[in-house]
Amino acid sequence: MAKDGPNWDGLLKWSLAHSDGTRSTRNLSEEDRRWFMEAMQSQTVDVIKRMKEITLVMQTPEQVLESQGVTPQDIEDMLDELQEHVESIDMANDLHSIGGLAPLLGYLKNSHANIRAKAGEVVTTIVQNNPRSQQLVMEANGLEPLLSNFASDPDVTVRTKALGAISSLIRHNKPGIEAFRLANGYAALRDALGSESVKFQRKALNLIQYLLNENASDCSVVDKLGFPRLMLHLASSEDPDVREAALRGLLELAREKADGSAIKLGEDNEKLKQLLGERIKGISLMSPEDLGAAREERHLVDSLWSAYYNEPSSLRDKGLLVLPGEDAPPPDVASKHFEPPLRAWAANPASKKSSVEQKETPLLLGPGPSSEATSNQDTSMRETDANGQTNASQ
């Protein structure tokens, strides 16, 4: 699939010769114009055409591709290219129109683990902050193979990529969340927390927190499945991201719900107190640089201590909660995940509208003030300024 690169040296020499300021401008000859246009057009990619070509390859049976010398690495490279194209929301939605979505979802069941993982990654890109593609993937039963890969694939990378795709697919997607719950998705999340893969753990924790934030009633479900104890274990992880994600999950469980209920740790209450005490001790021994980097963890530890023990943590007494130069309000520790800024902005018409409205200049209706009124107003303003200066001097 690789193509010869453009003749950049030739283009550069041509550009310098015609725009270096050492000669007056002149009209291009027809030959020069034709050469330049051919050079530029040779590098222009018709994205829809390429996506159709990729779709044809994806629709071709695996054994036929193998007989033609197409290797699994070739397929991975092709999916890499497809992922670049579907970064555009319009191209992502067009993939279904040209027949490419179904065979892409079929690659989630490919016999090669790397292809299954890459297909999950492409699906993530397609559905991220894209309600239309979320709907199309749901209608194509795309959640089913993703859940299968997430829950039971023997390759942890495939499981991790599938979880990433699920997270993007069901975000702000109530039918997706409900389907995930009905498919016993929480049990698969529990298994993910017991994995040895830090990345897998982190993604699972982030999705758990999002789901609990969206559906407070699910706190009782995760409590019955033993999530608090797993989170307690991960809250002492050596990986700071896993540690913070586990603390966020515990804080979400501790928050009082609309019905006045909150998850209690029972016999694990003392374990949490010991854990938080150890984290406070560790934070106290940090260098100033490390303290700054651990800002979110500091606030999480203090919030958890306050939530479970109805008193501020000793971080406050030690002056470690808000350091000199930091703003007093704590950072948002609840909902900053899964939201790539560009896609998020594009998916939220309200934000774009408000932004435009702020920039628009209000219309001035009716005739402007007469020259006489303007003159009188200027005179009045000057008199007021003069009086103000006199009063100030007095």
What tens digit of pLDDT does each residue of 9-33 get?
Answer: 655 555 556 555 555 556 767 877 7
Q: How many Cβ atoms from other residues are within 10 Å of residue 346's Cβ?
A: 15
Domain boundaries, the chain: 43-183
Using N-to-C axis directions, what is the helix angle for 174-182 and 131-139, rounded to 10°? 40
pLDDT in tens, 348-359: 555 444 444 444
**Quick one: tokens of 98?**
């040209």
Say yes or no to pLDDT of 245 above 80: yes
Confidence of residue 168 (pLDDT cuts 50, 70, 90): very high
Say yes or no to pLDDT of 347 above 80: no
Cα(366)–Cα(378) distance, rounded to whole angstroms?
Answer: 21
Mean pLDDT of the chain: 81
Say yes or no to pLDDT of 393 above 50: no
Using N-to-C axis directions, what is the helix angle for 89-97 and 113-127, rounded to 10°? 120
Burial 120-135 (b: 16+ CB within 10 A, else e): bbbbbbbbbbbeebbb
**Amino acid 254: pLDDT:** 86
Cα(163)–Cα(350) distance, rounded to whole angstroms?
Answer: 29
Which of 56-60, 183-187, 306-310 is least confident? Answer: 306-310
Average pLDDT over residues 215-233: 92
Cα(101)–Cα(360) distance, rounded to whole angstroms?
Answer: 40
More confident residue, 192 or 390: 192
pTM of this structure: 0.72
First to last CA, the chain: 84
**Amino acid 241: pLDDT:** 94
- CATH annotation of 43-183: 1.25.10.10
Confidence of residue 329 (pLDDT cuts 50, 70, 90): low
Burial 246-276 (b: 16+ CB within 10 A, else e): bbbbbbbbbeeeeeeeebebeeeeebbeebb
Residue with tokens 């795309």: 142
Average pLDDT over residues 20-49: 68
pLDDT in tens, 79-91: 999 999 999 999 9
Residue 68 is classified by DSSP as T
Share of the chain above pLDDT 90, in %: 60
pLDDT in tens, 267-287: 788 899 999 999 999 999 999
What length does the chain have? 394
**Quick one: tokens of 260?**
């006045």
